[in-house]
Structure 1
Amino acid sequence: MTEPNTIESMAAAARRAGKQLAAQTGQARVALLQALASALEAPARAAALLEANRADLEAANAALARGELSPALVARVALTESKLAALADGLRQLAAMPELLGARQVHRELDEGLVLERVSCPLGVLGVVFEARPDAVPQITGLALKSGNAVLLKGGSEALRTNRALVELIHAVLGEHGLDPACVGLLEDRAAFRGLLECHAQVDLIIARGSGRFVQLVMDSTKIPVLGHAEGLCHLYLHADAEPLRGAAIAVDAKCSYPAACNAIETLLWHAEARDATRAALAELAVRGVELRGDPATVELAQRLDIQPATEEDWGTEYGELILAVRQVASLDEALAHIERHGSRHTEAIVSTSEAAGEQFVRSVDAACVFVNASTRFADGYRFGLGAEVGIATGKLHARGPVGVEGLLTYRWLLRGQGHIASDYGPDKKPLRHRDLEN
């Protein structure tokens, strides 16, 4: 068990190392990201990562057989060559992005010789807890390196061997570039994470990825600000005019391409007049092994398919596997009401040929991501061109949706004068110019 004073020391070391990282030039951090991408693809290093992951997967599958883990969680543990290639590509995407750290956002002359700036800067030290997915380690690390933040990572114990191997690789790359590896730390047990929540003086933000219940538990257990990535209870709504081929293709991609992902749909809503589109979608989903749970109208619509009766609990369940709840609605307004009641404010989508219906959906849905005629699986930092994400925030403060580099920065106000004093300005005194200058 990790002792609390060890975690405090880790956090203090991370803060010192983070300052060194933030002081690097943008080009130095670009080179660091490119080197990390190359390291993930290097045959010997990739082989070591995959070997560690095989051991994790073997243990996870044994736990699944004992009923201790869910299939969705085991699916998240897997790290493959294709995932390593995608991670490397995401890091290179990050490296190619414009430099946001140190960017001047406001440049204003208050008076002659008195100039105000607002400049972006790192948050400092991030504590990130995430589910079993080991691919989150290089994704989150890449964003931290790009934004000049130190990071302390707590992944699921199911992927501990893989996480260790990934952090060892990251430390090697940091060392090769003359940087203190303490800017990326790995916490290995629950005691360590509980210790992290007590590091109020050293940690600037906790990012919690998990169920809404878990995120709330973290919020209740620390004085450190918490950015929550909670459930992904996403809906796809087939409007009355939905085209069958389009609706089916989007439904299959949104559910089947990676059912364990938080941006996979858990409920399909269909307008009473979208019968053809719904039949087509359900048929394609069933062929791919999706267990369908429907209301009476859905069961009647697709009598040839094995559709189980849905319960009230199904409308509020994030399955994370090939199970889908299906419900008929009488109107767009009824679909919106269902989403408002059961959704998690993550990602919602509509299929419709009507621009007016699409725009009403966009205006009315309260979610971080709202899509028209596109799969919910696009709700992803990599696909948005952010390189990666530390999580998808479903709240409304600081950052919302996929949180990339911009969401990991804050800013400082810098004022440079020549002996100016505030008492000289005001009513019946000298006026302030407030003249904006070029950034």
Structure 2
Amino acid sequence: MTEQDTETKVEEAQTAALELAKLSDDRRSAALHDIADAIDDSHEEILEANAKDVAEAEEMLEAGEYTQALVDRLKLDEAKLESITEMVRSVAGQDDPLGKTLAARKLDEDMELYKLSVPIGVIGTVFESRPDALVQIAALSMKSGNAVILKGGSEALHSNRVLYDIIRDATADMPAGWAHLIEAHEEVDTLLGMDDAVDLLMPRGSSEFVGYIEDNTSIPVLGHTEGICHVYVDSEADLEMATDIAYDAKVQYPAVCNAVETLLVHESVAADFLPDIAARYADAGVEVRGDERTRELIDAEEATDADWETEYGDLIVAVRVVDSLSAAIDHVTAHGSKHTESIVTEDADRASTFMRSLDSASVFHNVSTRFSDGYRYGLGAEVGISTGKTHARGPVGLEGLTTYRWHIEGDGNLVGTYAGEDAKPFLHEDFDGEWNPGHRSGE
């Protein structure tokens, strides 16, 4: 596609965003149910397209170009499609994120200030092999009143095209251009240069990829990078619980960013814990890479320095025995990606120390890292997991796709009244109230 094609799509998205923001929540939610219905009616078509992508990806896997994790993320089946439509309906059922009064302040008896939640506008997304990401992002954009430019990976080309066509056709009565699909690398480069039209970029991929986006645009970037997640088994852990958590965090779905990659074990429980988890891992086909003290207790491959900073996305886990709670915290701080960490311990004070000492977006106590997910958090879905600190962190749902603006309701008020020697003082009194267009509280 030509550069003009991309610019036209973004211009259409700008117009659509303004219209979408004015639509009622009932209208936007109804459109999401239409999308879910259309996907339910199109399983055969979707799976046929996905089979093409998977077959091509498996050829690339054999050639050493793709990883097994990428192929696993790419695959769709009946159960996955049902979970996708469940997700869309869950997003539709969320509270309206728009028009909320976030703050209300009386500036004067006849002048009130309101802070209201509004859509961001036009969002550009570039995401990984998972075709369900396209539906998640589109659904959250619709519910939050944002127009969206979607760029999926070439490995999911057929799946993304079919899913996009289904979404577009199902929302034909919505503002034209609210969702656009782009495919070529040149289109991404064009998108990165449109800082006057695109309000936010959300890349999902490696640190190198997100860094490339950040280095080549002046558009604000909400980055989703690697998930180098940790589980720390403390000296005060319930070891049966710890084994279950470490197993779930690695095996339940190893190809995703919230799967554990490094298991840290306190030296006082290592001899009791490691043989049990090693046996569970072995049964599941997990390759264990351990430091010297780990390898003294179980059979494992030798871990290298690179293993502590690798997102495997596969049935591989790095294991290190640590001397203390502080050593575990130091390891996570030095090697983590600020995604998700979990401590397994029965000591509340030690749990508190671990959780308050880390700078990750999500930090858990006695649960699997796999809970770091927008749907599981009750957000309906997520457009990604932000490992940065602005403006959203962790799983980014509807709230992360909104910003705010200020409204004032007055009665001919003039700045001059509140300036100079005879200036009238402001009240600046906060109150509980909702913005009502054309009215002030009590009217």
2:325 is aligned with 1:328? no
2:275 is aligned with 1:285? no
Task: Give yes or no for contact 1:393–1:402 (8 Å, CA) kept in 2.
Answer: yes
2:409 is aligned with 1:386? no
Question: How far apart, CA to CA, are the structure 2 residues paired with 1:181 and 1:282?
Answer: 55
Question: How far apart, CA to CA, are the structure 2 residues paired with 1:391 and 1:75?
Answer: 18
Question: How far apart, CA to CA, are the structure 2 residues paired with 1:352 and 1:106?
Answer: 40
Partner of 1:203: 198
2:348 to 334, 355, 362: 355
Partner of 2:158: 161
Task: Give yes or no for contact 2:113–2:409 (8 Å, CA) kept in 1.
Answer: yes
Question: How far apart, CA to CA, are the structure 2 residues paired with 1:288 and 1:329?
Answer: 25
Identity %: 46
Offset of residue 110 of structure 1: 1.0
Offset of residue 191 of structure 1: 1.0
Partner of 1:434: 428
Task: Give yes or no for contact 1:242–1:277 (8 Å, CA) kept in 2.
Answer: no
Partner of 1:30: 29
Partner of 1:189: 184
Partner of 2:248: 253
Task: Give yes or no for contact 2:34–2:171 (8 Å, CA) kept in 1.
Answer: no
Q: TM-score, normalised by structure 2?
A: 0.95
Partner of 2:440: none
Partner letter of residue 408 of structure 2?
L
In the alignment of these two chains, the number of paired residues is: 431
Q: Could you give the per-residue CA deviations for residues 121-171 of structure 1, whole angstroms, max 9, x where no partner exists?
A: 111000000111100011001100010000001111000100000000001
Partner of 1:17: 16
1:56 to 42, 53, 56: 53
Q: Could you give the per-residue CA deviations for residues 321-362 of structure 1, whole angstroms, max 9, x where no partner exists?
A: 111110000000000000000000000011111111111111
Offset of residue 428 of structure 1: 4.8
- Two-structure CA RMSD over aligned residues (Å): 1.2
Partner letter of residue 419 of structure 1?
G
Offset of residue 260 of structure 1: 1.0
Question: How far apart, CA to CA, are the structure 1 residues paired with 2:149 and 2:14?
Answer: 10
Partner of 2:410: 417
1:108 to 98, 105, 108: 105
Partner of 1:3: 2
Task: Give the 3-state SS of the residue equivalent to 1:273 in structure 2.
Answer: helix
Task: Give the 3-state SS of the residue equivalent to 1:29 in structure 2.
Answer: helix
Partner letter of residue 345 of structure 2?
S
Partner letter of residue 356 of structure 2?
R
Question: How far apart, CA to CA, are the structure 1 residues paired with 2:44 and 2:75?
Answer: 14
With 83-92 and 407-416 compared, the bigger mean Cα shift is at 83-92
Partner of 2:437: none
With 33-42 and 408-417 compared, the bigger mean Cα shift is at 33-42
2:114 is aligned with 1:128? no
Task: Give the 3-state SS of the residue equivalent to 2:118 in structure 1.
Answer: strand
Partner of 1:90: 87
Task: Give the 3-state SS of the residue equivalent to 1:325 in structure 2.
Answer: strand
Partner of 1:316: 309
Offset of residue 38 of structure 1: 2.1
Question: How far apart, CA to CA, are the structure 2 residues paired with 1:428 and 1:349?
Answer: 60
Partner letter of residue 203 of structure 1?
V
Question: How far apart, CA to CA, are the structure 2 residues paired with 1:429 and 1:75?
Answer: 68
